[in-house]
Amino acid sequence: MIQCEDKSFYTGITTDIQRRFTEHLKRKGGRYTRSHRPEKVIYTENRLNRSEALKREDQIKGWSREKKIQILKLDL
């Protein structure tokens, strides 16, 4: 999960976190981060396969902002 400069969150999956974050910084990542400048990686998880990763991504995206903050224990 990435925190953007406007304090919004972006959630996605990748096999290489640093490469993917760099792509987002260069505006070659997801559409969301083109208009919400990425600031930092705030949360990662490892999954055994792509299917599990996609299911977890969907679950996290369904959470409210408040739940994400509570679960991740962020001091925003």
Number of domains present in the structure of the chain: 1
User: pLDDT per residue over 26-67, tens digit each?
Assistant: 998 788 999 999 999 999 999 999 999 999 999 999 999 999
Query: Domain of 40?
Result: 2-72
Which structure tokens are listed for 4?
């953007």
Task: Identify the CATH number of the domain in which residue 18 sits.
Answer: 3.40.1440.10
Q: Is the pLDDT of residue 72 over 90?
A: no
What's residue 73's pLDDT?
A: 78
Does this model's pTM top 0.85? My answer is yes
24 and 38 in contact (C-beta within 8 Å)? Answer: yes
Strand intervals (E) in 16-71: 38-41
- The order of strands in the sheet holding 9-10 is 9-10, 2-4, 38-41
